[in-house]
């Protein structure tokens, strides 16, 4: 049971990973009221320390007794670790889980604070953080859905390699360098060359569901329905990995029940929490992954009325996949939780 305190004991599980690192810097940056911090990783790296603010903190090996005295545990160490350790942690702490392990569990709320904060109220110890591609899409679409009801979403993503972790980013850099040097490169993270390429497969192994969609694509369908509390909303996604290091971009097409104009969407999203509209095509201004990297907001631009359908809108949605797509959303959930105590 989480009770009101001045400061909280926080554990970061998967502290050495790409998202774990963002969780650590995010807690510091946002001045989260941390009493003690515990950094946990699954592999033992003797003597490994990480900075938390100005402090050097030992990285401890994740185990069943890692959670004594912990109030809030942020998990991002893979679905297997979450399945094994989150229920143990949840006996003492509130778990905010960034993996896909519990997202579709009917007993676990799946939350984006700008979208469905009300679902935090019924958690039973574990709260799931959605998939990165879903988060930025629903932040941009929820205000529209509330006003004119979205019937159907068709989305294509352009996802950065950092979603697949730090090793994937290294692979893209090294492969790019090798190819520019006229050398060959043997891939180990991605199934194909990622440098100068676009791969319509995420994740990189065991990607495909039975229906021809990838698991990443089906997450966008199922998680959107769960957070919008609307099983009737139709979603079709194509998720593509592109040679970008950080920041996911999405081409989003929606069909609404009632007509909404492009100007009305611009006005609505300009006032929406967590959203920044950058939409001045005459001056070649629109959201870019290179500019979204390191930022908190979900950026929206290229807003236009779909010429192929009377109640259609097209837009371009960009956000930092490691921040709003992962660590930042998890920390914002924790902030809401403690504010509600």
Active site annotation includes 239: no
Q: Say whether residue 78 binds ligand L14 (CB under 6 A).
A: no
Identify the residue among 28, 193, 203, 305 touching ligand L14 (CB under 6 A). 203
E-assigned strand segments in 160-214: 198-199
- Looking at the Cβ atoms of 77 and 132, the one nearer to ligand L14 is 132
Which of the stretches 10-18, 157-165, 295-303, 312-320 binds ligand L14 when contact is defined by CB under 6 A? 157-165
Which residues in the 27-56 window bind ligand L14 by CB under 6 A?
Answer: none
Three-state DSSP string of 18-50: HHHHHHHHHHHHCCCCEEEEEEEECCCCCCCEE
Helix runs in 241-327, H state only? 262-270, 289-292
- Looking at the Cβ atoms of 214 and 256, the one nearer to ligand L14 is 214
Q: Which two tokens stand for residue 11?
A: 């554990």
Which of the stretches 26-34, 159-167, 224-232, 256-264 binds ligand L14 when contact is defined by CB under 6 A? 159-167
- Looking at the Cβ atoms of 119 and 216, the one nearer to ligand L14 is 216
- Looking at the Cβ atoms of 163 and 274, the one nearer to ligand L14 is 163
**Cβ atoms of residues 279 and 285 within 8 Å:** yes
Q: Say whether residue 132 binds ligand L14 (CB under 6 A).
A: yes
Active site annotation includes 132: yes
The sheet carrying 248-256 orders its strands as 198-199, 234-242, 150-159, 248-256, 312-319, 298-305, 275-277
Q: Say whether residue 218 binds ligand L14 (CB under 6 A).
A: no
Q: Say whether residue 254 binds ligand L14 (CB under 6 A).
A: no
Q: Say whether residue 144 binds ligand L14 (CB under 6 A).
A: no
Query: How buried is residue 248: exposed, middle or buried, by Cβ count under 10 Å (0-12/13-18/19+)?
Result: buried
Q: Which residues pair with 128 in a beta bridge?
A: 97, 110
| Least distance in angstroms from the C-beta of 214 to ligand L14 | 9
Q: Say whether residue 164 binds ligand L14 (CB under 6 A).
A: yes
Give which of 32, 82, 81, 77 is closest to 52, Cα–Cα.
32
- Looking at the Cβ atoms of 18 and 90, the one nearer to ligand L14 is 18
| Least distance in angstroms from the C-beta of 203 to ligand L14 | 5
Which of the stretches 44-52, 158-166, 262-270, 283-291 binds ligand L14 when contact is defined by CB under 6 A? 158-166
Helix runs in 126-270, H state only? 132-148, 166-180, 215-228, 262-270
Identify the residue among 175, 216, 297, 314 touching ligand L14 (CB under 6 A). 216
Q: Say whether residue 163 binds ligand L14 (CB under 6 A).
A: yes
Burial call 294-316: b when 16+ CB within 10 Å, e when fewer: ebbbbbbbbbebeeeeebbbbbb
* Total residue length of the chain: 341
Q: Say whether residue 112 binds ligand L14 (CB under 6 A).
A: no
Residue 336 CB coordination number (10 Å): 14
Q: Say whether residue 217 binds ligand L14 (CB under 6 A).
A: no
For 14, left (φ over 0), alpha (ψ -120 to 50), or beta? left
Identify the residue among 100, 224, 256, 332 touching ligand L14 (CB under 6 A). 100
Out of 68, 123, 132, 145, the active site residue is: 132
Cβ partners under 8 Å of residue 176, min gap 6: 195, 196, 243
Q: Say whether residue 131 binds ligand L14 (CB under 6 A).
A: yes
| Least distance in angstroms from the C-beta of 165 to ligand L14 | 8
Q: Say whether residue 108 binds ligand L14 (CB under 6 A).
A: no
Q: What is the dihedral of CA 67, 73, 79, 82, to 10 degrees?
A: 30
Site residues (CB under 6 A) for ligand L14? 100, 131-132, 159, 163-164, 202-203, 216, 219
Enzyme catalytic residues: 132, 248
């Amino acid at each position: 049971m989480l009770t009101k305190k001045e400061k909280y004991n926080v554990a970061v599980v998967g502290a050495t990973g790409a998202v774990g690192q963002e969780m650590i810097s995010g807690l510091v940056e946002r001045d989260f009221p941390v009493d003690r911090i515990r950094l946990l990783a699954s592999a033992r790296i003797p003597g490994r320390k990480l900075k938390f603010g100005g402090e050097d903190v030992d990285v401890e090996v994740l185990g069943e007794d890692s959670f004594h005295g912990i109030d809030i545990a942020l998990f991002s160490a893979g679905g297997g670790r979450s399945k094994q350790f989150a229920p143990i942690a949840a006996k003492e702490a509130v778990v905010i889980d960034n993996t896909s392990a519990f997202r579709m569990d009917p007993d676990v709320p799946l939350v984006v604070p700008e979208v469905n904060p009300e679902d935090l109220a019924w958690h039973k110890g574990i709260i799931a953080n959605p998939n990165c591609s879903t988060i930025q899409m629903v932040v941009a679409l929820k205000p529209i859905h509330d006003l004119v009801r979205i019937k159907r979403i068709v989305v294509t993503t352009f996802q950065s390699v950092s979603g697949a972790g730090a090793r994937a980013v290294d692979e893209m850099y090294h492969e790019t360098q090798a190819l520019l040097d006229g050398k060959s490169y043997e891939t180990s993270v991605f199934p194909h060359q990622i440098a100068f390429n676009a791969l319509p497969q995420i994740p990189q192994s065991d990607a495909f569901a039975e229906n021809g969609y990838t698991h990443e694509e089906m997450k966008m369908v199922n998680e959107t329905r769960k957070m919008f509390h609307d099983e009737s909303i139709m979603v079709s996604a194509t998720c593509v990995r592109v040679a970008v290091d950080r920041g996911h971009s999405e081409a989003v097409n929606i069909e609404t029940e009632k007509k909404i104009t492009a100007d009305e969407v611009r006005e609505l999203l300009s006032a929406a929490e967590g959203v920044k509209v950058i939409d001045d095509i005459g001056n070649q201004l629109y959201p870019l992954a290179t500019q979204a990297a390191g930022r908190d907001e979900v950026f929206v631009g290229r807003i236009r009325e779909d010429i192929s359908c009377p109640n259609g809108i097209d837009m371009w949605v960009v956000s930092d996949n490691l921040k709003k797509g992962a660590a930042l959303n998890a920390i914002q959930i924790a902030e809401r939780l403690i504010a509600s105590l």
